[in-house]
Structure 1
Amino acid sequence: MVVIAPLPLPREEIQSAEATENRRRRTGLWLWPFVLTFGLTSYGLTDSLLGRDELVTWDMVNRNTGQILATLQNVDAVHGTYYLLMHLWVGLFGDSVFSLRFPTALAVAGSASVVGLIGDRLFGYRAGILAGILFAVVPAVSRYGQEARSYALVIFAVSLATLLLLRALETPRGPRRWAAYSLTLAVVGFLHLIALSVVLAHVCVLAAHARQNRSLWWKSGLALLATAGCAAPVALLGRSQAQRQLYWVPEPDSWAFLSMMRDVFASALCAGALIALALVARSPRKAPLFLCGTWALVPPVLVWLTSHGEVSYFRHVYVLFTLPAWALLAGAGLAAASRSRKATAALLATLAVLTLPDQKQMRQPFEHDAPVPLDYAAAADVIKQGHHAGDAVVYDRENAWKLDSGVQYYLPRDLKLRDVFLAKAPTAINDLYAVQCSVAVLCLKGEQRIWLLTQGTDFPFNAITPGQANALQSQYRVSMSRSVTGMTVSLLVRREKS
């Protein structure tokens, strides 16, 4: 029997098949981390109530553009770009919990894709896709991918800037790539100034490449100079506001650095696992390991060092943008330590199972206000059920930051209550803080019923200022008092004249 061998494929068909396979692998490199991260982050996206910082976002984005810009002159300039972007988003899609948080879910999913692409360039295809998957299962990615604040967008912008730097180094003669890198780095500064510390890692890589190509000194210098020029106004304005905004952040001690690393991952177990994998990362070139190591470690160290001056910046949320670097190193470490697909899959599955309790914790109803939970929704429901036309309200502004905004968010928009002791609303004075009546008794207008909302479960009049308490007690009695998580809702009824 004669066996006839199949004719070899023409060179064009072989090249076409190889190109198709390359495109499929390239697509999988960014698509699977995106899908996994978006799926995990979207699960339970609206389970937690809005936290205090998210309520600041809600307050700011519902002001008009002129009011936002005027407020940024007084406070929170470092978050101004995020507020303006979210103002446009809310104008199109509303201010529901889902709408406020959806952009951050997209941002962390996009970050996972970029991590995969960076990992492919630095450590190879397998390490890249593993890095994207490891990034997805970090509990902090879900936690801050479900929060209406700028930190998820900062992670994405830092990752994208790093990818664009690597692309520019591949084709250093391309001015468009340098311009894209510089512009993205400027966006990083607009979103959060501390994240610009990633430039230290970028400079190390640029210096290494400039040894072979001296033109990189002036090309990268121009790109970084342009970024500095763009970010300088925000930096100066933010510096002038730092004391007012961060007066409450304590100066860190030596052990605080270790607790920060745990909080960055939102899981001590996950932090330990990724750091252990990062320690076994391997690469035939030193530059990839040096880039990721500098990116992961230098910003937290820099924040710790600078927090021993007039202002402390020591908050773990400010260095969340280092998570992609840890994922990249861990992906390289996992690729080096486990060559078998089954063993790699088993390790990933084990890590996912072990971090399930932390993932569950991230989706608890009051996680965004931890460790002092306040059930704004339940308090609003009590008012909604017992509301009468003409009712007024008093909020505990002495002990509970944004308690008033939290309750107002969960009240029906058409339910209007006069804020008895509010002299000037934050929007009226382009600020985040309200001004209350200096003489409380003069602000009472004879309402028959006043709702009093206070933090804690103590006697409600103990939670407000003595002047406010005396004014209310002289004319009103407590008709009803109900406790919800972290709060007390009391109904005051006007005393009958004897």
Structure 2
Amino acid sequence: MGAPHPHRKHQEAAISRTASAGRTAPWRWLPPLLALALGLWRLDRGGSMWRDESVTLQVARRPLGDLVGLLGQVDAVHGLHYALTHALLPLGEALGLPAPVALRLPSVLATALAATGVAALGHRLAGPRAALAAGVAYAVLPPVQMYAQEGRSYALVAAAVVWATYALHRRRWVAYAVLLAVACWLHAFAVLAVLAHAVAGWRLRAWRRCAAAVVACALPLALVGAGQADRQLGWLGRPSWADWAAYALVAGLALLLARDADRDLVRLALPLVLLPPGLLLAVSLVRPLYVDRYVLYALAGLALLAGARARPPAPARPPARALRPAAALAAALALAGALVPWSLWLRTPDSRKDDALAVAAAVRDLARPGDAVLFMPARRREWLLSSPGVYDGLTDLALAATPTASRTLQGTELPSDRLRARLTEAPRVLALMDPADQPLDAFPREAVKRQTLAVFFDLCEVRAVHGARVALYARPGECPSGEIG
């Protein structure tokens, strides 16, 4: 055989270099590794766990049949995540991981997967430099870091939506429909991504069919969830000025980044940033539904637009528009300086509303055998349900039916007259309450709790923990130190 033709030899070398570069290109491995490192960094958050994670933990530990019964009453929109956690949590605990760490690991992995998807989409739309910048930008965004370390569904929803967006761009229709349907079953508000995708896909018959299939698949969950909405979302108020200000800031930044960006990239990324949170905010003016974490996936669009700014300028573009290396380095250092304090804070107990494990520790320290416990309000029973070693040693005065028996999250309580009778017979009571600056529940049963404690007991001690108070009440003259707090 003769020597290869020179032109063919050059082609093979170019293909080899391209394949080699594809295997080692930083945009492929740096974003997921960075997301993974940030997710694993202080994953235990100082040994803390807030009440929403506590719900996930105690629900996931129920037998599967009891879990199905619960979802018929409440939290159906989280059903798939609870089922996944029910299956995966024992694996983490079998490896010797603390329960909160095992609970959060799926979110860490999902965030790394989402960062990979953002980078892959950036590469398809704007090249390797934009891919690297977009993937890194997504990984370091503070909300992304926050929910990467949380035992809830939001990071998983974001990963599914990101890869559905990638499948939309590649026109992989089966993958698109499946991924988006999974996202909707992980959280119903992922369906808003369908509206964002409509900007790029509406003219395509295949997209319209997929979108209809996704909506049809999500409809049963939406109908069940709508029936549970008053119990599940009744705590929500209308969007605050801070919610609108945050949306305006993100939207303004997205519009600024979209200037002169590739049209295909803008058609995918900009609607993803603007439409899901914007529509949810608008609907919440009539029926409060908005919480920023429900549309966490929208930040993938912002990361894509930011990454597009790292794309080399077109030859016709004036050189002055290109960001000089020194200016880019200065901007990166300034951004890192701003993000580091946020990143550190996000890994502390104070970054969440409360700390169920700190409440349990305070109760363990104050309690004596035979003590009673009272939750004020009743929904704060969640603070102890994920710490059965503490909860099982106390008498729950108000409890009528356990969470499992009643197929509820926090159980059901006795009527006011029976509750008053039981409470007046208790020698010592540990009352678990919201912080002093929170409004008191106006329900009659909660008023009976407060009034009975005030009339029949002395307040011995109050311990403030993050997001809660643990108060010890005893019969007059029976406080441990002989002093009344």
TM superposition score normalised by structure 2: 0.83
Q: What residue ranges of structure 2 are gaps of 5+ in the alignment?
A: 1-5, 314-320, 479-485
Hey, what's the Cα distance between the residues in 2 that align with 1:453 and 1:247?
A: 22
Partners of 1:123 and 1:116 in 2: how far apart?
Answer: 10
Equivalent position to 2:376, from 390, 396, 406 = 396
Alpha-carbon offset, residue 151 of structure 1: 0.9
Work out the CA distance in 1 between the residues paired with 2:462 and 2:282. Answer: 48
The offset of 1:479, in angstroms, is 4.8
Question: Paired residue for 1:157?
Answer: 160
Q: Deviations over 1:11-46 (max 9, x none)?
A: 5862563244233245x3231100111112222221
1:435 Cα shift?
Answer: 2.2
Give 1:470 deviation, angstroms.
5.2
Q: Give 1:78-93 correspondences, 5 Å limit.
A: 78-93=77-92
- Aligned position for 1:35: 33
Query: CA–CA distance in 2 between the matches of 1:72 and 1:478?
Result: 39
Contact 2:360 2:390 in 1 (8 A): no
- Aligned equivalent of 1:334, options 306, 310, 325: 310
Q: Which residue of 1 aligns with 2:316?
A: none
Alpha-carbon RMSD across the aligned residues, in angstroms, is 3.2
In structure 2, relative to structure 1, the CA distance for the partners of 1:381 and 1:14 (3 Å cut) is same
Following the alignment from structure 2 to structure 1, what is the Cα–Cα distance between the partners of residues 426 and 328? 67
2:212 counterpart letter in structure 1: L
1:253-402 map, 5 Å: 256-260=243-247, 275=254, 278-283=257-262, 286-309=263-286, 311-335=287-311, 336=313, 338=322, 343-369=327-353, 374-397=354-377, 401-402=379-380
Name the SS for the 1:465 alignment partner.
helix
- 1:473 shift after superposition: 6.1
1:330-378 deviation digits (Å, cap 9, x = unpaired): 1102335646555534432321112222222322322111xxxx45444
Name which of structure 1's ranges 239-248 and 120-129 shifts more when overlaid on structure 2. 239-248
Q: Which residue of 2 aligns with 1:104?
A: 107
Deviation at 1:59, TM superposition (A): 2.8
Q: Secondary structure at the match of 1:353?
A: helix
Amino acid at match of 1:324: A
CA distance 1:339–1:470, change in 2 (3 Å)? closer
Q: Displacement of 1:323 after TM fit?
A: 0.5
Between stretches 470-479 and 63-72, larger displacement belongs to 470-479
Cα distance in 2 for residues equivalent to 1:329 and 1:93: 36
Q: What are the Cα deviations for residues 397-419 of structure 1, in whole angstroms up to 9, with x where unaligned?
A: 26xx43x3224435746852121
Output the amino acid matched with 2:193: V
CA drift of 1:166 comes to 1.9
Shift of 1:446: 5.2
Higher mean displacement: 340-349 or 225-234: 340-349
Instruction: Give the length in aligned residue pairs.
Output: 454
Letter in 2 for 1:367: S
Question: Deviation of residue 469 (structure 1)?
Answer: 4.4
Give CA-to-partner distance per residue, 1:223-253, whole Å, 9 cap, x none: 2232222111011111222233223322347
Q: Which residue pairs with 2:49 in the alignment?
A: 50
Q: Which runs of 5+ in 1 are unaligned?
A: 1-6, 169-176, 211-216, 266-270
1:194 maps to 2:225: no
- Alignment-mate amino acid for residue 58 of structure 1: L
Mapping 1:208-227, distance limit 5 Å? 210=204, 217=205, 219-227=206-214
Task: Give, in whole Å, the separation in 1 of the partners of 2:322 and 2:397.
Answer: 65
